[in-house]
Structure 1
Amino acid sequence: MIGVTTSVILDKRIQKKDSTYAVKLRVTHNRIQKYYPINVSLTIDEWDKVHAEKPRKTYKDHLLYFNEVELKARTIIKDIHPFTFAAFEKKFNEAPRSTIDVFSAFQTYIETLLKDGRVSTAESYKCALNSLKKCQEAKNRKKLNFWDVTPDWLKDYEKWMIASDKSRTTIGIYLRSLRTILNNAIANGHLDRDSYPFGKRKYQIPASNNKKKALTIEQIGQLVKYVPENKYEARARDLWLFSYLANGVNVKDIARLKYSSISNNKIHFYRSKTERTTKHDLKEITVVILPEIENIIDKWGVKPIEADSYIFGFIDKEDTPEQELVKVKSATKSINKFMARIGQKLELPFKPTTYFARHSFATVLKRSGAPIEFIKESLGHKDLKTTEHYLDSFDDDFKESFQKKLLNF
C-alpha cells in the first residue's frame, strides 16, 4: 500500500442537471490520479453536511458508506503486488458493496454455534447481540458497522451498561463476544487491522468483579452431616457433594458422564467447555472414586447399569443439543433450589449453588497445601495462569487469620 493513497471526494468537474456532483473514490499512485464512481451524487451543501462534526440520518449513512468504500479499496490495494490500476479496477469492480455489519456477523456466528451443538455459547452471544442492539437503538441507530466500534464507542457502551445496572462481569462477557466477532471480521477482510479497537493504549475490557466464594472445610462438613428432610434435599445435597469431590465438575459434565467413563476405580472425562475450543492437547480429567463418590453413584445412578447409559439420567441419548441444554438448566435449577434451603437451615454465609462447589474444591485444596500444578490438572485448566487467576480471591476471614499471625510473637 506504500505509494498508493485513497480518498472519497466530491468531483466538482461536471455538474449534473439537478445541481449535484458525483461522489467518487480517488486513487493516487506515482502522482497519477484515477476516479471511480460509487453511485452517489450530492450537492455541495449536502456534501458539507455529510462532513459536519456530527452528521445525522441520511448524511451519516452516506459517511459510513464512504468509509466502507475506502476500506474496501485499501483492502484490495494491500493484496496487489506490484500495484497497477488495471489490477485494482478489476478487483474493485468485482467486489460488491459489503452488506455485512456487526449485527449480521453476530447472527451468522450464532448460527454456526448452533450447528456445532454449542447451544449454551450461542445463547450467550444472543444476549450480547441484543444488548448491543439496545445500545444502538438508544442512539436512534439500527445498524452497527465494524468501523463504528472505536475505543470511544466501547467506552460509551460500557457507560451505558453501567447506567443500566449491569455488572462488570456481564460487560466483560458481552465485550469478549464482540471482540471475537471483530477478530473474525479481520480474518474475513471486512475490517482493517489498523481499525481494531481492543488492546493496550486503545480499549481494554474491564476485569470481572465477581468475587468467587468457597465454603470452608468445616462448612462442607456441616453439609455432609446434614440429615435431609426429603428425597429432593437428599438428591440435591448428594449431587452438590459429587461435584465438590469430583474435581468441581459442573452440572453439564455430570449430566454427560456415562458408566463407560468409569474404569480402574476412576472417572475419566473431558470438560464440555473445552472440547471444541481446545481441539489440540485436550486435558483429560481423572477423578479417583472415593467411597463417598461410589455411594452417591450407587444411590442415584440409573439402573440397570449399561456402559452407554448416562449415570444420573439427566439427559437421554436421543436429545438434541437444545433439549440437552434445557434439561441441564432444569437440573441445575433444582439442585440450587434445595441447596439454598439447606444452606439457610445451616446458616451458611451464602447460598451454596453448584457454581461454588467447584470453587470450594479448588480453594480447600489450596488451603490444605496442595501444589497449584495439581489443582490446575484437577480443574482441567490448560494454562497455569488461569488457575492462579481462579484462586486469587480469598474471603476476609481467611485473610484476617493470616494477618493475626503477624502478632504471634
Structure 2
Amino acid sequence: MATVKAVLRRKKNPEGKYPIAIRITKDRKSSYLGTGQYLEEKYWDEKNRCVRKSHPYASIINNFLVTKVAEANKKVFEAENNEDYQTVKAIKKSIKKTKKIDFFAIANMHLDNLKNREKHHQYDTELGRLKKFKDFLKKNELSFNELNPPLLKKFETYLLHDKKRSPRTVVNYLILIRTIYNLAISESIIDRGRYPFGKGKVQIKIPESQKIGFNSNEIKKLENAIDLTEAQQKAVHIWLISFYFAGIRVGDVLKLKWSDFNDGRLMYRMNKNSKLLSLKTSEKANVILERYRQDKLTDDDLIFDYLRGTDLRDSQEISVRTQTITRNLNRHLKKVTAKLGISKKMSMHIARHSFGNISGDKIPIQMLQKLYRHSSVTTTINYQANFIHQDADDALEKVINL
C-alpha cells in the first residue's frame, strides 16, 4: 500500500528556505510532488507533518497541504484498486494528469512566495505584469502546452508596438514568465519537454542600459543650491546623503536612525540583501545631519521624518510608503535641477550612478564591490563599465590626432 505524507525537503533555495512537498512512497520507493510553498526549517513540525503555529501564515498553508494530501490520497486509492500493478512513478503521473495545469495557478504560487518573503514592491510590480499578460491573452487561464515560442513572440511584439514598452521592460516580462515556468519544473509540476526558452526558441537578452550620473561640477551645484523651498532642500539633503555613502538606496536612507551612527561611522544593514556595512561619515555628511539633530527625539528616532509614525515592522506598509515618498522626492529634485540648469535626468537613484561616474576607474574594483554591496565582482565590473571611458578615449585620440 502506498503512503502519502507532507514533507520538508532538504534542498534550500537562495533565501534559505526549504520546499514543502507531497511524498508518495510504495515498495520503499518514493516520488515527490511540489506544492510551490517554501518554509524556514524552524517553522516545520516534523512530527505532525505541518507548519508550526508560530508561522504567520500557518493556518493558510496547513489547509492548503491538507487539500493536497487528500487529493494525492484519492488518486493513490484509485491506483491501488486498479487490477494492473502501479509503480510509484505511475501513481505520481496519474496525479499530475488529473487536471490541466494552469500557468496562472503557478504564477499565484510565485506571488505567494514573494509575499511570504516580504518582497512587496516586487509583488506589486509582477502582479501588474501578469495582469497585462492576461489582457493580451484575453483570458484568465493558460495551459503550459499553449505557452510556446510563437505565443511569447506575439506577446513581445504586442508590448513593443501596441503598448510602446521599452525593450528593457519587455525583457522583464519575459523573465517573469520564465521564472514561473522554472518554478513549475523545479516543483515537478511539469517537465522540461516543452520549455519555450533557449537556443532556437525565445532567447532573453538584456539590452545594455545607459547609466548617466552627475559630474563633480553638477554635484557642487546641488551642494550650494540656494532659494529652495523646504521640501526641495530636504530632497537635496536626502540625495546628497545617499551620494556621500556610495549611493545607498532611498529606502535605506529613509530608515536611517541616529543610533546607526557611532564613532564617526555609519553602520547599517542594507534592506535589499541584508548585508551589513560600515562607512566613514564624511564632514559633508555631518554638516547635513547636524541640521536635523534639533528634531531628534531619541537615539532610535529616524533622522528624516518621512516614515515617522509608520510601523517599521510592517514591511508591506513601509514598501508602499517608500514608493510614494520616492515619487515626491523625485518631483522636488527635478524642480531643483531645472533651477540649476542641469539637463540630465534626475531621481534619487541617480545618486548611485553619480558615485559610479565620479569614481570611474580611480577606485579598485574590489573596493567598489564592497561599497556597492554587490554579491559578485562581475556585477560591479558590468555596472562600473558604464562610467569608465578613459581607455577608449585615449585610443580614439591616438587615431584621430594625426
Question: Do both proteins adopt the same fold according to a TM-score greater than 0.5, normalized to the shorter chain?
Answer: yes
Q: Where does residue 352 of structure 2 map in the other structure?
A: 358
Separation (CA, whole Å) in 1 of partners of 2:278 and 2:136? 45
Indicate the residue corresponding to 1:86 in structure 2. 86
**Is the Cα–Cα contact under 8 Å of residues 366 and 372 in structure 1 kept in the other structure?**
no
Aligned equivalent of 2:260: 261
**Alpha-carbon distance in 2 for matches of 1:365, 1:143:** 50
SS class of match (1:285): strand
363, 369, 372: which is aligned to 1:370? Answer: 363
Q: Measure, in 2, the Cα distance between the counterparts of 1:270 and 1:408.
A: 50
* 1:11-30 → structure 2 map (5 Å cutoff): none
* TM-score, normalising length: structure 2: 0.71
Q: In the alignment, which residue of structure 2 is the partner of 1:336?
A: 330
1:191 counterpart residue number: 190
Q: Deviation per CA, 1:309-346, whole angstroms, max 9, x where unpaired?
A: 33223324525323212321222122211211111122
Aligned to 1:46: none
The residue that corresponds to 1:122 in the other structure is: 123
| Pairwise CA distance, 1:99 | 5.0
Q: Distance between the aligned counterparts of 1:112 and 1:385, measured in 2?
A: 28
Runs (5+) with no aligned partner, structure 2: 1-75, 77-83
Q: Distance in 2 between matches of 1:147 and 1:348?
A: 52
CA distance in structure 1 between the partners assigned to 2:146 and 2:390 by the alignment: 47
Deviation at 1:184, TM superposition (A): 1.0
Name the residue aligned to 1:393.
386
Aligned to 1:309: 301
Decide which moves more: 332-341 or 188-197: 188-197
Q: Percent identity?
A: 23
Q: Which residue of 2 aligns with 1:252?
A: 251
Shift of 1:407: 5.3
RMSD over aligned Cα, in angstroms? 2.8
Q: Secondary structure at the match of 1:267?
A: strand
C-alpha deviation, 1:221, in angstroms: 1.4
Change (3 A) 1:182 1:94: closer
What is the alpha-carbon distance in structure 1 between the residues aligned to residue 92 and residue 229 of structure 2?
A: 72
| Aligned length in residues | 316
- Which residue in the other structure is 1:160 paired with? 158
- Give the distance between the partners of 2:294 and 2:134, measured in 1 at CA: 45
Structure 1's unaligned 5+ residue stretches are: 1-75, 77-83, 276-282
Q: Counterpart in 1 of 2:7? A: none
Which protein has the larger Cα radius of gyration, Structure 1 or Structure 2? 1
Q: Deviations over 1:168-199 (max 9, x none)?
A: 11112222222221111111112212332223
- Distance in 2, matches of 1:304 and 1:121, equals 33
Displacement after TM superposition at 1:152 (Å): 3.0
Q: 2:291 aligns with which of 290, 299, 303?
A: 299
Distance 1:354 1:401, change over 3 A: farther
Query: Does the 8 A contact of 2:211 with 2:386 survive in 1?
Result: yes
Name the amino acid aligned to 2:386. S
State the alpha-carbon separation in 1 of the partners of residues 145 and 183 from structure 2: 14
State the Cα distance separating 1:400 from its structure 2 match. 5.8
Q: Whole-Å Cα distance in 2 between the matches of residues 178 and 228 of structure 1?
A: 49
- 1:232 Cα deviation from its structure 2 partner: 1.5
Which residue identity is paired with 2:244? L
Q: SS of the counterpart of 1:350?
A: coil
Secondary structure of 2:129's aligned partner: helix
Deviates more, 1:181-190 or 1:315-324: 315-324
The change in CA–CA distance for 1:258 and 1:198 in structure 2 (over 3 A counts) is: farther
Summarize the Cα distance change of 1:219–1:148 in structure 2 as closer, same or farther, 3 Å threshold: same
Q: Secondary structure at the match of 2:266?
A: strand
In 2, the alpha carbon distance for the partners of 1:119 and 1:291 equals: 36
**1:64-119 CA-partner distances (Å, limit 9, x unpaired):** xxxxxxxxxxxx9xxxxxxx952255445555624542212222322332233221
Q: State the one-letter code of the partner of 1:178.
A: I
TM-score normalized by the length of structure 1: 0.70
Pick from 338, 342, 345 the counterpart of residue 348 of structure 1: 342
Q: Bigger shift: 204-213 or 246-255?
A: 204-213
Instruction: Report if the CA contact (8 A) 1:302-1:311 is conserved.
Output: no
Mapped pair 1:325 → 2:319: yes
Letter in structure 2 aligned against 1:372: I
- One-letter code of the match for 2:167? R
- 2:179 aligns to what? 180
Matched position secondary structure for 1:351 = coil
- Give the SS at the match of 2:267: strand
Q: Which amino acid aligns with 1:383?
A: S
How big is each residue's C-alpha offset from its partner over 1:136-168, in whole Å with a ceiling of 9 and x where there is no partner?
11xxx4422223323333222211111121111
How much has 1:364 moved relative to structure 2? 0.9
> Residues of 1 paired with 2:401 and 2:195: CA distance?
54
Secondary structure at the aligned position of 1:165 is classed as coil
